[in-house]
Amino acid sequence: MTDKNSSSLMEKVISLSKQRGFVFQSSEIYGGLKSAYDYGPLGVELKRNIMNEWWRSMVHEREDVIGIDASIIMHTNVWHASGHLAGFSDPLVDCLISKERFRADKAPRPVSGDELPIECLDKGQAKSYLEVIKKRFNIELKRNGKVLLGMRVIDENNIGFFEDDNEKPSATFPYRGYVSPKFGSPFLSDERQFNLMFRSQIGPIDVLGDITSFVEKNKDLDNKEMRTGIEDIVKKSAVYLRPETAQAMFVQFLNCQQSMSMKVPFGIAQMGKSFRNEVTVEHFIFRSCEFEQMEMEFFVEPGTQKEWLNYWRDKRIDWWKKLANNPDKFRYRAHETDELAHYADACYDIEYEYPWGFDELEGVASRTDYDLKKHSEHSGAKLSYFDQQKQDPETGKNGWRYTPYVIEPAAGVTRGLLVYLLDAYHEEIVPNADGKDSSRVVMKLHPRLAPIKVAVLPLVKKEGLPEIARDMVSNFFKAGINARYDEQHSIGKRYRRHDEAGTPYCITIDGQTKEDQTVTIRNRDTMEQERIPKEDALLIIQKRLMES
């Protein structure tokens, strides 16, 4: 894929995802829900294969990591202790002209002397915004097509309206240091904190009834008091959908460690759904409100966290690269101090070069002993570890009780799925049956990730060929290999369809099969075909999948 094509790569992948059944817009027939996606017949297989590969490398192949599957709804005190109820929020701002709502910390920040053009969608919108600004702020900006001109940043606290290119502003307004991302408007509301967790109510409590009675009884309260009163009623039965899978591993630290007699260093891993009421959902499935994570909390001795952080950073980036066609598109980046989360003393982002540039795929954080200590404080449980073999560094006595430090590789499943779709998409010019150039789209998914491992295609739908093909498919299933019987359309069309599905091997049953018990096996990437004994097909596919 050339650079010229890369800007449309995203559109091509989105379109192929729908056509071939990888990803659909949620509730599409009702106009769609922008922040949610459904994984179709191929998508669900791809997603599970990514998760299975992660589980294999993070849990099954390691003696020092165990797994759990915790509930999505947890005790509300978990979120008090972790800081999510107090701090898991974004600063939100509204544009007073366009009503655009955005995150202040992600907004563009023009500096002193910069022009502040308001870029409207079309002339009609520009005329209507011109009127609103005139009415509300008593200034008349100049319109050039769909752009409104005349404002400039004076300093970090003020913007000015400069009429007819005058040197002195004829009006000044307070400047927040940023403008709205879509229109470039500096006319903004105050910032409000917005909690990213989805709230629900648990139990047979009539919250609306309780609120109604409270409002009726307290009509004299001012707005703030009324809000606090209502908030108190809601909080009594409030529960939250987890915004990360991580907290369960801290809360179940003792149960896991004791039930499996684990010795530090060891890890607890989990994969599953997380939910965030994201203000900005963007780039297809890159950022959505419902997504899936694969996280592991690795508990280490205090003082060893730096070496373990580097260890997991390298392990994790190697894992992503191993399953990709273009390993050069992955890199890691250390967080600056001001980027670090409140619980972390260091962090790396594993990034991928998406069509819009390098962006996060996985975080590998050194979370210190923050979470275990917080949950100990809030619950009263002693979330610590006793190492009989070590001396306590403070007392010098044998045996050391300490709160382990934590290294956390936290990856997004659905974001990973997007990465592997982008990585797999290839367009090629290849000769067709007549030897003429034709283009083919092929999803070069790693065979371990491919939704269908092998398609079995009878050349014609008669002469006993379908029976032979179905028999072979059933043998693949018995061996745990996802195979697919496919008899629709010409053989050429079927090959192309499976190229787009990312199926690494197609086995064709033809007239010769009945004569000499051989079949052809076609390789997705090279398109080469070889004739093999029918009875060897299973072993050959098994071997190729294992060696891939």
Contact between 463 and ligand GAP (CB under 6 A)?
Answer: no
**Cβ proximity to ligand GAP, 43 vs 363, nearer residue:** 363
Among 66, 93, 148, 246, binds ligand GAP (CB under 6 A): 246
**Closest residue by beta carbon to ligand GAP:** 412
Closest separation in Å from C-beta 411 to ligand GAP: 6
Closest separation in Å from C-beta 16 to ligand GAP: 20
Count of residues interacting with ligand GAP (CB under 6 A) = 19
**Cβ proximity to ligand GAP, 248 vs 473, nearer residue:** 248
Q: Alpha-carbon dihedral of residues 173, 174, 177, 180, nearest 10 degrees?
A: -60
Among 412, 447, 458, 504, binds ligand GAP (CB under 6 A): 412
Contact between 300 and ligand GAP (CB under 6 A)?
Answer: no
Contact 208, 233 (CB under 8 A): no
Phi, psi of 270 (to 5 degrees): -155, 145
* Residues 392-411, mask of contacts with ligand GAP (x by CB under 6 A): ----------------x-xx
Among 45, 53, 90, 295, binds ligand GAP (CB under 6 A): 295
Contact 305, 405 (CB under 8 A): yes
Q: How far apart are CA 145 and CA 143, in angstroms?
A: 6
Instruction: Find the part of the chain contacting ligand GAP (CB under 6 A) among 131-139, 216-224, 357-365, 538-546.
Output: 357-365
Among 361, 372, 442, 454, binds ligand GAP (CB under 6 A): 361
For the chain, give the number of residues. Answer: 548
Among 301, 359, 360, 463, binds ligand GAP (CB under 6 A): 360
Q: How far apart are CA 286 and CA 213, in angstroms?
A: 43
Phi, psi of 338 (to 5 degrees): -75, -5
**Cβ proximity to ligand GAP, 241 vs 411, nearer residue:** 411
Instruction: Find the part of the chain contacting ligand GAP (CB under 6 A) among 99-107, 221-229, 283-291, 497-505.
Output: 283-291
**Cβ proximity to ligand GAP, 122 vs 338, nearer residue:** 338
Contact between 524 and ligand GAP (CB under 6 A)?
Answer: no
Among 152, 313, 374, 415, binds ligand GAP (CB under 6 A): 415
455: left (phi over 0), alpha (psi -120 to 50) or beta: beta
Contact 193, 92 (CB under 8 A): yes
Among 244, 301, 359, 463, binds ligand GAP (CB under 6 A): 244
DSSP 3-state helix, strand, coil percentages of the chain (rounded to 5)?
A: 35, 30, 35
506-516 per-residue burial string, b: 16 or more CB within 10 A, e: under 16: bbbbbeebeee
**Cβ proximity to ligand GAP, 295 vs 369, nearer residue:** 295
Contact between 459 and ligand GAP (CB under 6 A)?
Answer: no
**Cβ proximity to ligand GAP, 414 vs 513, nearer residue:** 414
**Token output for 291:** 């997504």
Q: How far apart are CA 214 and CA 233, in angstroms?
A: 9
Instruction: Find the part of the chain contacting ligand GAP (CB under 6 A) among 179-187, 287-295, 496-504, 520-528.
Output: 287-295
**Cβ proximity to ligand GAP, 141 vs 421, nearer residue:** 421
**Cβ proximity to ligand GAP, 362 vs 500, nearer residue:** 362
Among 17, 185, 376, 414, binds ligand GAP (CB under 6 A): 414
Contact between 195 and ligand GAP (CB under 6 A)?
Answer: no
Angle at 425 between CA 43 and CA 420, to 5 degrees: 50
How many CB atoms within 10 Å of residue 221? 15
Closest separation in Å from C-beta 412 to ligand GAP: 2
**Cβ proximity to ligand GAP, 287 vs 524, nearer residue:** 287
Q: At what angle do helices 3-20 and 491-501 cross, to 10 degrees?
A: 110
Contact 324, 303 (CB under 8 A): no
Contact between 288 and ligand GAP (CB under 6 A)?
Answer: yes
- Integer distance in angstroms from the first to the last C-alpha of the chain? 23
How many CB atoms within 10 Å of residue 274? 21
**Token output for 446:** 């790693």
Closest separation in Å from C-beta 24 to ligand GAP: 17
Omega prior to 265 cis, within 30 of 0: yes
**Cβ proximity to ligand GAP, 283 vs 426, nearer residue:** 283
> Within the chain, what is the greatest distance between any pair of CA atoms?
93
Contact between 362 and ligand GAP (CB under 6 A)?
Answer: yes
Phi, psi of 457 (to 5 degrees): -120, 115
Q: Print the SS3 string covering 474-490.
A: HHHHHCCCCEEECCCCC
Instruction: Find the part of the chain contacting ligand GAP (CB under 6 A) among 285-293, 447-455, 463-471, 486-494.
Output: 285-293
Strands 529-533 and 518-523 turn out to be antiparallel
Q: Which residues bind ligand GAP (CB under 6 A)?
A: 244, 246, 276, 278, 287-288, 291, 293, 295, 360-363, 408, 410-412, 414-415
